[in-house]
Amino acid sequence: MTLRLGDIAPDFIQQSTIGDLRLYDYLGDYWGILFSHPADYTPVCTTELGYTSKLQEEFSKRHVKAIALSVDDLKSHEGWIQDINETQNTYVNFPILADKDRKVSELYDFLHPHASETTTVRSLVIIDPNKKVRLIITYPASTGRNFHEILRVIDSLQLTDHYKVATPANWENGEDVVILPAIKDENELNERFPQGYKTITPYLRFTPQPNKKPT
């Protein structure tokens, strides 16, 4: 199957480093990050899993749970986790799926048909509490993921889900946002954006981030 933005994320039960994991039960009303790795004991992925562990406080602030995946088995995962903890000075505190049968990889389109039948591409999926897919991003094997960008996207998604705004290029949490063009009524504008707004063009209007108090 081909997974697209807005699709319902497929549920599954799969072995993991914390026991059998059912996706929907594990996430509950949390946001989820599901990211794949081509194999255990790979250098770039080792740094990524270590950094993910160090970001758990940031994920918790955003009501997010992380889940990693590799097609190797649990025994291999256990050894790899020891390496990650030692080399990255951390403690892996999230589940890693043992997707040896490639069930989850096939559900989430993590297998590249022109690269290998067993090696997953390095993809990452963000899943919202309604179990909808909100982001899909695939990295080349030589380039480590930018987890600060992942946090930025989550901040944007959570903000724009609750307010009629969008986030402009290079936006960071706390900066001005863009009012959706569909809002044209002046009374509605004043009610929704009491901090005011700046009109650049009729379709480009900036306002302070609605859920941030003015300093």
Closest CA relative to residue 121, chosen from 150, 96, 151, 145: 145
pLDDT tens per residue across span 114-140: 555 555 568 999 999 999 999 999 988
pLDDT in tens, 66-109: 999 999 999 999 999 999 999 999 999 999 999 999 999 999 98
pTM of the model: 0.91
Question: What is the reported pLDDT for 113?
Answer: 60
Cα 5–133–40 angle (5° rounding)? Answer: 110
Residue 214: pLDDT band by 50, 70, 90 thresholds?
low
Torsion, CA 204, CA 207, CA 211, CA 212, rounded to 10: 140
Predicted local confidence at residue 38, as pLDDT? 85
Q: With beta carbons less than 8 A apart as the criterion, state whether 151 and 61 touch.
A: no
Tokens of 94: 């999230």
Ramachandran angles phi, psi of 25, nearest 5°: -70, -40
Taken in order of first residue, the domains within the chain and their CATH numbers are 13-143 (3.40.30.10), 163-207 (no CATH)
pLDDT higher at 215 or 174: 174
| Measured distance CA(84)–CA(160) in Å, rounded | 35
Question: What's the pLDDT tens digit per position in 37-53?
Answer: 888 999 999 999 999 99
- pLDDT at position 117: 52
Distance of CA 198 to the CA centre of its chain: 31
- CA separation (Å) from 30 to 34, 51, 63, 144, 206? 13, 20, 5, 25, 30
Residue numbers annotated as active site: 45
Query: Which is nearest to 192 in space by CA: 180, 200, 204, 176?
Result: 180
Residue written as tokens 């981030």? 209
How big is the chain, counted in residues? 215
Contacts with 39 (C-beta within 8 Å, 6 or more apart), sequence order: 45, 70, 71, 72, 119
pLDDT at 115: 55
